[in-house]
Structure 1
Amino acid sequence: MSTENDSLGGFLRHRRERLSPQEAGLSPGGRRRTPGLRREEVASLAAISSDYYGRLEQGRLTNASSATLASLARALRLSLDERDYLFRLAGQEPPSRHSAYAHIDPAMLFLLDALSETPAQITDDLLTVVAQNQAATALLGPWTGLPDFDSNVTWRWFADPSSRALNVPEEHAAIGRAYAADLRSGLARRPAREKYGTELAKDLLERSAEFRNLWEDHEVEPLTSSAKRIQHPEAGVLDLQCDVVLSPATGHRLIVFRPRPGSGAGAKLSFLSVLGEQNFD
């Protein structure tokens, strides 16, 4: 058992014990015998098994992936320096700002947790989903931690037409145009020939004639607040306002799906919230 991985386990345990359930967006529940979060709570927040997390804390694992380390950094609400330290303890170089595992502004994670009954998710500057609250998962399905480009909203829109099923057909054209313009805007802010963004755009140009046509228009515009109608198989049609909040510190975006006044969508979101809690139990 290596000293390096003993240190990794000790660091994880220390940060787990100092983080309160409220700070992690969880209900405090009943009386706790020890301070901080339980191991299974950290595992759930990081979308890994309790057994896997336990072996990490005990120093019995030596090959945690970058995706797992990034998920743990978010679950434990680590600062940027703490996240970099976690990666180095695991023998890995910390990810760059433009990586799918880049640091998320803790203030944005706090807002995500606070919006417990309002669907919200955090994306990077290219619209790759890096965190969701439970309400967003109930409304939109799981989007985080998927392989290749599957967590990218723009890629899924053009590469997998079934991903459009939740959007009413009359909005498809406008949504596709907005996603293409947003991708060009995001790429313009990244270093030239940055790998992830370059490969994402190249893949879409090869795979989708619709995307190629929109790309040729050279429209450049980041996403802004817009009205959307979501047709959910269990809740019906929801009239929502999709708001975008930018983090100047990291470039991540908090995307909030709030009910439009007088639409009745609030009651439907409450229904989905209850349904989601049942599915997560």
Structure 2
Amino acid sequence: MATTEFGQAVRRWRDRVSPEAAGLPLGGHRRAAGLRREELALLAGISVDYVTRLEQGRATNPSEQVVEALGRALRLSGPEREHLFHVAGLVPPGQGTVPAYITPSVQRMLDRLTGTPVAVSDATWTLLLANPMYTALMGEYHGNERNAVWRNFLGSGNRRVRHTPQSLQALEAAQVSALRSASRHYPADQRLRRLIAELRANSKRFAELWDSGAVGRIEGSRKTIDHPQVGTLTLDCDVLSVAGSDLRIMVYTAEPDTVDAERLALLAVVGTQSFVE
């Protein structure tokens, strides 16, 4: 049965990945060398209960997005990723769809930035991977909230990041422009087409910007973040592109020897306490 084979594969590969390889702290006594279900769920952006049901064969028909996220969290090679899609009863995404595969070399680079908030998004600004520091800084996102455009136009937005009316307008125009560009580059991507249709139908602001041909560009900037535990931080946010993959890497850093740097260092402790037994 495909779902049983899928669950066995996830469990087998979860046992293979060490916390250090996934960019997580060891923290306390561990009965096994691999990832806990809680850690895999955090890395993949899904619930612990869903991971449990998938491994036990009680959850059927995982979506393409879930399989892709699990493959990234488990550090799968290209052939292993294809196998995971097949045992889930899915065809691996091909040409014409938004790339979501993070290569092992990019993954290794991200794993080394343990003290820096880093996140990777695809061409539609859907969050693919966030290291623990990024999650500690911005909070966890699940489901539709993992897409920054959906979150800003239809969801709760990002309550931790301060915006002026001008910066919010610029962000909205840039996000609409990014989706328009993605739709031109990946016309066969059904998930992208559904996302745009939902946004146009349910957000008057998005529809206005889309129909007016608004253009913009998401670039690096300084962001002020109100964190519920460490207070206010003003950080540099740089957006890097991965050649040949259309991925975006978002990196947050603080100026050395500042209050912001001290609070970011404190966040490294506060934000990882959930992993310590």
- TM-score > 0.5 by shorter chain: yes
Residue of 60, 71, 78 corresponding to 1:80: 78
Letter in 2 for 1:127: W
Residues 178-197 of structure 1 aligned to structure 2 (within 5 Å): 178-191=174-187, 194-197=189-192
Q: Does residue 1:248 correspond to 2:267, yes or no?
A: no
Q: Residues 278, 191 of structure 1: CA spacing in aligned structure 2 closer, same or farther, 3 A cutoff? A: same
The equivalent of 1:119 in structure 2 is: 117
Q: Aligned residue pairs: how many?
A: 271
Q: Residues 231, 32 of structure 1: CA spacing in aligned structure 2 closer, same or farther, 3 A cutoff? A: closer
14-23 vs 162-171, greater mean Cα deviation: 14-23
Residue of 204, 211, 214 corresponding to 1:209: 204
131-140 vs 257-266, greater mean Cα deviation: 257-266
Partner Cα distance (1:188, 1:166) in 2:
32
8 Å CA contact 2:175–2:218 kept in 1: the answer is yes
The equivalent of 1:266 in structure 2 is: 261
Alpha-carbon shift at residue 195 of structure 1 (Å): 2.3
Q: Residues 37, 54 of structure 1: CA spacing in aligned structure 2 closer, same or farther, 3 A cutoff? A: farther
The equivalent of 2:62 in structure 1 is: 65
Q: Residues 15, 180 of structure 1: CA spacing in aligned structure 2 closer, same or farther, 3 A cutoff? A: same
Alpha-carbon shift at residue 124 of structure 1 (Å): 0.9
The equivalent of 2:140 in structure 1 is: 142
SS of 1:178's equivalent in the other structure is: helix
Alpha-carbon shift at residue 87 of structure 1 (Å): 1.6
- The higher relative CO (CA closer than 8 Å, separation ≥ 6) is in 2
Letter in 1 for 2:270: L
Partner Cα distance (1:221, 1:68) in 2:
30
Q: Residues 85, 168 of structure 1: CA spacing in aligned structure 2 closer, same or farther, 3 A cutoff? A: same
TM-score where L is the length of structure 1: 0.78
Letter in 2 for 1:212: A
Q: Residues 175, 237 of structure 1: CA spacing in aligned structure 2 closer, same or farther, 3 A cutoff? A: farther
Q: Deviations over 1:6-53 (max 9, x none)?
A: 75466445544544443222345689887x515545455444538955
SS of 1:163's equivalent in the other structure is: coil
Q: Residues 61, 102 of structure 1: CA spacing in aligned structure 2 closer, same or farther, 3 A cutoff? A: farther
Residues 7-86 of structure 1 aligned to structure 2 (within 5 Å): 8=6, 11-12=9-10, 15-27=13-25, 37-38=34-35, 40=37, 42=40, 45-46=43-44, 47-49=46-48, 52-53=51-52, 56=55, 60-61=57-58, 63=60, 65-66=62-63, 67-86=65-84
Q: Residues 43, 228 of structure 1: CA spacing in aligned structure 2 closer, same or farther, 3 A cutoff? A: closer
Partner Cα distance (2:250, 2:232) in 1:
19
User: Which stretches in structure 2 are left out of the alignment for 5+ residues?
Assistant: none
Residue of 134, 143, 154 corresponding to 2:149: 154
Please report the RMSD computed on the Cα atoms of aligned residues, expressed in angstroms.
3.4
Task: Percent identity, please.
Answer: 32
8 Å CA contact 2:116–2:134 kept in 1: the answer is yes
Partner Cα distance (2:228, 2:181) in 1:
33
Residue of 148, 159, 169 corresponding to 1:165: 159
62-71 vs 87-96, greater mean Cα deviation: 62-71
Residue of 202, 215, 233 corresponding to 2:228: 233
Partner Cα distance (1:21, 1:62) in 2:
25
Alpha-carbon shift at residue 172 of structure 1 (Å): 1.9
Q: Residues 263, 180 of structure 1: CA spacing in aligned structure 2 closer, same or farther, 3 A cutoff? A: farther
Partner Cα distance (1:52, 1:97) in 2:
29
The equivalent of 2:88 in structure 1 is: 90
User: Which stretches in structure 1 are left out of the alignment for 5+ residues?
Assistant: none
Partner Cα distance (1:48, 1:54) in 2:
10
